[in-house]
Amino acid sequence: MNVVDSSGWLEYFADGPNASFFEPPILDLKNLIVPTLSLFEVFKRIIQQKDEGAALQAIAVMQQGNVIDLNTALAIDAARLSVELKIPMADSIMLATSMSFDAVLWTQDSDFTGIENVRFIIKKG
């Protein structure tokens, strides 16, 4: 199973320098977990940079994976991770979601450096 964090999705949609790093987990729809927080973050950024139509198209692609809502158990696990690892709320929700599915978290966010089951690539550009 795989979780691509918002930075990865945005890199993929922008066809940025690291897009090819994120392409394999994104295209493996059967094993793709998409936290609802990713939908929020990606929609917000794309609507700011382009328009609502482009943002809706991105969300349609993301929804082809297994969309996972933030529930009480994930929220509590994320809060614990946030305190333990000293990472922001959004990062802790992504990590808690990936951990709950025994998934690999794909990212270019340096907050995740050195964490088990995280595939990290340095953001280029």
Token pair recorded at residue 50: 């382009």
Q: Record the tokens describing residue 48, joined without a space.
A: 């700011």
Give per-residue pLDDT as tens, 14-53. Answer: 999 999 999 999 999 999 999 999 999 999 999 999 999 9
Considering the domain delimited by 2-120, tell me its CATH architecture.
3-Layer(aba) Sandwich (3.40)
The domain segmentation of the chain, as residue ranges, is 2-120
* Predicted TM-score of the model (pTM): 0.96
CB atoms within 10 A of CB 56: 12
Question: What's the per-residue H, E or C state across the chain?
Answer: CEEECHHHHHHHHCCCCCHHHHHHHHHCHHHEEEEHHHHHHHHHHHHHHCCHHHHHHHHHHHCCCEEECCCHHHHHHHHHHHHHHCCCHHHHHHHHHHHHCCCEEEECCHHHCCCCCEEECCCCC
Q: pLDDT tens digits for 58-74? A: 999 999 999 999 999 99
The arithmetic mean of pLDDT across residues 106-125, rounded, is: 93
Q: What does the alpha-carbon distance between residue 71 and residue 49 come to, in Å, rounded to a whole number? A: 30
